Structure 1
Amino acid sequence: MDPRTVRALIGTPRHPELVLRREYRATSGELRDACTSLPRLARWFGSVEGAPSGAGAEFRVDLGGDGTATGRIRRCDDDGLEVSWVAGEEPESILSAEWRDTGAGRAELTLRHRLASEERVAPSGRGWDDALAALDRSLTGGEAVAEGAGAWRLIGARPLEVTRTVDAEPERVWAAIASAEGLRTWWWRHWSDVTIEADVRVGGRYRIEAPGAEIAVEGRYLVVEPPQRLAFGWRWIDADGSSVDEAVDITLSAAGRGTLVTVRHTGPWEDDAPAESYRQGWDFTLGELAAVLAGARARNP
């Protein structure tokens, strides 16, 4: 897979969300111009009718061999663009793009597509891979190649879902999972050398490392909606290397006096072994979370 594009599949089977992130040899202003200027859009994306600028404006895109798409501008400012999106006969979905400078004459584009059906994961993912590669070519004149639908078919083929009811209200569970201080009370607590960093905001980074065990996980937060939902990219690192294009989406919902915690973990797994290994890991990890919060409630009923 092209290491310049980081992919994540989050959301639910009924409402999946694609997230793609790619760094370009350009400034954020150049990326904004490439995504909002009609002549620039025509070079890499398609011929657009209707200026993609003011909120409420409607547009139509000729996608060449992929047909046409229509939509309405929901937001357009210096930092990003959000539109409603209808391609062909598919249901309406929401598409957003955000850009930011990363330094040394480079900038990053993050694209998020909230789909209306599970069947659209592979074809939409393929289309956005193609589009981001085309944008690269338009900016640099290079020969960037897209991955195609194969990567997204794997990512969507074996989603893992694990649930656990925790004896604590959603606000307390959120505090435990959405801060470095909270995570330190339960994540890998059986090891004494664990270090945790967590900048819990969209785009913020986290890293959890156990040097003695020679393992770590790291990534960036994709969705932060307290106290209901936390989604983030996931890169597992051990002596054998590191994983790619994995993501975790955690949702919290009230269940009596407690909270139902649902973890959905996705990745480009070619067989069932990675999902089964992660299932065992999440069963243990959520058990630790439940034990710590149940103990805290017993001490402070």
Structure 2
Amino acid sequence: MTHGSELSVHMRRVLDASRPAVFRALTDPRELARWWGPDGFTIPSAESDLRPGGAYRIAMRPPEGDPFHLVGEFLRVEPPERLAYTFRWEDPDPEDRETVVTLSLHDIGPARSELILDQGDFASERRRALHEEGWSQGLGKLGELLASQRD
């Protein structure tokens, strides 16, 4: 979604899990490795110091090719309702720049949550669209994972 001259991604997903379960899936490196990234990608490693000012580093391996890394710093860690962090690629594409991801969780039932994702401001429409596609596929996998963990 584009807001004026700002290039950002805004998504809303309803997930069949409680806010604490979703927050854990968003922050626990073992859980993250099970769903993170676009279809076909794997996560060989994920490291996280989950606290404001703490760093994270995620290795992503595409279906073909060498792994690359995503790094950043946690800005807000408020379980189970909010998470915000910087997002940048090691060895970035010339069109990349550091963005901020904000994830908000809201209860919508006993074991259902709404996830709101915002990320921006991107340097180009091409990079914004690439991230939107990646998030869409990754959040789809997250939804499947959480649904499969219910009773």
Q: Which band: TM-score by shorter chain?
A: 0.7 to 0.9
Per the normalisation by structure 2, the TM-score is 0.83
Q: Note the C-alpha offset of 1:273.
A: 2.2
- Distance between the aligned counterparts of 2:16 and 2:43, measured in 1? 28
Q: Contact 2:36/2:43 (CA < 8 Å) preserved in 1?
A: no
Q: Contact 1:179/1:199 (CA < 8 Å) preserved in 2?
A: no
Post-superposition Cα deviations, 1:268-297, rounded to whole Å, max 9, x if no partner, equal 42x422222211111001001111111111
Relative contact order (alpha carbons < 8 A, sep ≥ 6): 1 or 2 greater? 2
Aligned pairs, number: 143
Runs of 5+ unmatched residues, structure 1: 1-152
Question: How large is the RMSD of aligned CA atoms in angstroms?
Answer: 2.3
Q: Contact 1:214/1:238 (CA < 8 Å) preserved in 2?
A: no
Tell me the residue number matched to 1:255.
108
- Distance between the aligned counterparts of 2:115 and 2:122, measured in 1? 24
Matched, 1:291 2:140: no
The structure in which a higher percent of residues are helix is 1
Tell me the residue number matched to 1:276.
129
- Distance between the aligned counterparts of 2:140 and 2:74, measured in 1? 23
Per the normalisation by structure 1, the TM-score is 0.44
Q: Contact 1:198/1:206 (CA < 8 Å) preserved in 2?
A: yes
- Distance between the aligned counterparts of 1:192 and 1:232, measured in 2? 21
Q: Contact 1:250/1:262 (CA < 8 Å) preserved in 2?
A: yes
- Distance between the aligned counterparts of 2:44 and 2:16, measured in 1? 25
Q: Contact 2:33/2:42 (CA < 8 Å) preserved in 1?
A: no
Tell me the residue number matched to 1:208.
58
Matched, 1:174 2:27: no
Tell me the residue number matched to 2:11.
162
Structural mapping, 1:1-301, within 5 Å: 157-188=6-37, 190-192=40-42, 194-211=44-61, 212-237=65-90, 240=93, 243-256=96-109, 257-269=111-123, 271-297=124-150, 301=151
DSSP-derived class of the 1:280 partner:
helix
Q: Percent identity?
A: 29
Post-superposition Cα deviations, 1:112-138, rounded to whole Å, max 9, x if no partner, equal xxxxxxxxxxxxxxxxxxxxxxxxxxx
Runs of 5+ unmatched residues, structure 2: none
Evaluate the alpha carbon distance shift between residue 221 and residue 242 of structure 1 in structure 2; reply closer, same or farther with a 3 A threshold.
farther
- Distance between the aligned counterparts of 1:240 and 1:159, measured in 2? 17
Q: Contact 2:33/2:43 (CA < 8 Å) preserved in 1?
A: no
Q: Note the C-alpha offset of 1:243.
A: 2.9
Evaluate the alpha carbon distance shift between residue 227 and residue 193 of structure 1 in structure 2; reply closer, same or farther with a 3 A threshold.
closer
- Distance between the aligned counterparts of 1:242 and 1:179, measured in 2? 30
DSSP-derived class of the 1:168 partner:
coil
